[in-house]
């Protein structure tokens, strides 16, 4: 009998060792205390976007959510056929009640942006947002999906720990220190964003125009959809091919290459022209901004703190570095 047959596992760590390392890495990924500053910036940006959306809803609340609006409640239920499609607008029986509920969402969104009674404002804002999109599903697009993802993270983590009116009125140095909840909230955004990009890129692979490198020209040539005249791209087919294929590669590779430090800056830098280009050229600025806010979750807290250092109170900065 050879030595290799007698000792098949020689030199290899036991399986329990591998499992222990995996569990340790899992716990470190999700439950390592993190600086709450990135989440606070996400809160401000997401709150501002929700304030804008809620203002649009509020100005024509009856048309969006009223009994005799663009889509009657029974038609919403018939279209969705899902018992969990709850909305507080289904309980409203008058135009005044609909307006009041839309106003509550708007007020909660504004309070969330400023960081006033942040935990309560975050929950009310999320409930109001979910109620709005469930009541008016025909008006829901990528912007709403991304904003909902951000609001869930804001509810989970200590979004008002820094850069909030709460901290100005009641300074709490302990709240500004790294916390597990802050890390958990940021990780939720990061993982969710990777899933979005991966499935979006894989879905594009089903379209022949993406393989041919002409998909972006299709968007530029659609006169009913575009907001900028990009028809000059017709004279530069190689540029169209390069932009289309590089965008597709970036989207599919994002989930793997945004994590290593070596490639993270590149992928985050590409996200800026991609989403601003979508916003400016295709009239979806809210969606583009929401996606950029989600990408903010991958920016290291140290870099954000260094950039915002002139605007941060000394007490907050000291508390964070002391932890």
pLDDT tens string 201-232? 999 999 888 998 888 888 888 777 777 788 88
pLDDT tens string 182-205? 999 999 999 999 999 999 999 999
Averaged over 105-129, what is the pLDDT?
A: 97
Q: What is the pLDDT of residue 309?
A: 80
Average pLDDT, the chain: 87
Least confident of 6-15, 184-193, 264-273: 6-15
Q: What is the pLDDT of residue 1?
A: 44
Averaged over 122-140, what is the pLDDT?
A: 92
Backbone angles phi, psi at 146, to 5 degrees: -70, -40
pLDDT at 85 over 80: no
Q: What is the pLDDT of residue 323?
A: 41
Percent of the chain with pLDDT over 90: 60
Give start and end residues of each alpha helix (H) in the chain. Answer: 3-6, 15-31, 37-59, 61-65, 73-80, 95-114, 118-135, 142-156, 165-169, 180-204, 208-212, 215-220, 237-257, 261-282, 285-295, 301-308, 314-322
Averaged over 129-144, what is the pLDDT?
A: 90
pLDDT tens string 292-323? 999 999 999 999 988 888 766 654 444 444 44
Contact present, 53 and 147 (Cβ < 8 Å): yes
Q: What is the pLDDT of residue 271?
A: 96
Least confident of 11-20, 127-136, 140-149, 212-221: 11-20
Q: List all residues 6 or more positions away from 255 whose beta carbon is below 8 Å from its beta carbon.
A: 194, 195, 197, 198
pLDDT at 7 over 80: no
Q: What is the pLDDT of residue 4?
A: 46
Q: What is the pLDDT of residue 320?
A: 46
pTM of the model: 0.86
């Amino acid at each position: 009998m050879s030595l290799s047959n007698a000792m098949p596992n020689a030199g290899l760590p036991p399986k329990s060792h591998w499992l222990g390392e995996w569990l340790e890495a899992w716990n470190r990924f999700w439950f390592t205390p993190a600086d709450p500053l990135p989440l606070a910036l996400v809160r401000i940006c997401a709150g501002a976007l929700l304030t804008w959306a809620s203002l649009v809803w509020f100005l024509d609340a009856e048309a969006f959510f009223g009994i005799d609006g663009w889509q009657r409640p029974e038609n919403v239920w018939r279209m969705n056929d899902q018992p969990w499609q709850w909305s507080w607008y289904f309980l409203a029986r008058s135009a005044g009640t609909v307006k009041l509920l839309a106003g509550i969402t708007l007020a909660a969104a504004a309070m969330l942006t400023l960081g006033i009674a942040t935990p309560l404002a975050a929950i009310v804002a999320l409930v109001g947002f979910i109620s709005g999109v469930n009541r008016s599903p025909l008006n829901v697009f990528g912007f709403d999906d991304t904003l909902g993802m951000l609001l869930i993270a804001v509810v989970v983590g200590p979004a008002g720990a820094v850069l909030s009116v709460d901290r100005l009125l009641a300074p709490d140095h302990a709240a500004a220190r790294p916390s597990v909840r802050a890390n958990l909230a940021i990780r939720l955004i990061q993982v969710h964003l990777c899933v979005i990009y991966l499935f979006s890129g894989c879905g594009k692979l089903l379209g022949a125009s993406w393989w041919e490198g002409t998909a972006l020209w299709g968007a530029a040539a659609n006169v009913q959809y575009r907001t900028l005249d990009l028809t000059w791209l017709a004279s530069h087919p190689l540029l169209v091919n390069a932009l289309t294929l590089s965008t597709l590669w970036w989207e599919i590779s994002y989930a793997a290459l945004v994590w290593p430090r070596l490639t993270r800056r590149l992928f985050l830098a590409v996200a800026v022209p991609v989403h601003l280009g979508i916003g400016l050229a295709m009239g979806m600025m809210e969606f583009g901004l929401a996606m950029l806010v989600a990408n903010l979750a991958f920016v290291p807290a140290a870099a954000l703190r260094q950039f915002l250092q002139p605007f941060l109170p000394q007490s907050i900065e000291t508390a964070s570095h002391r932890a």
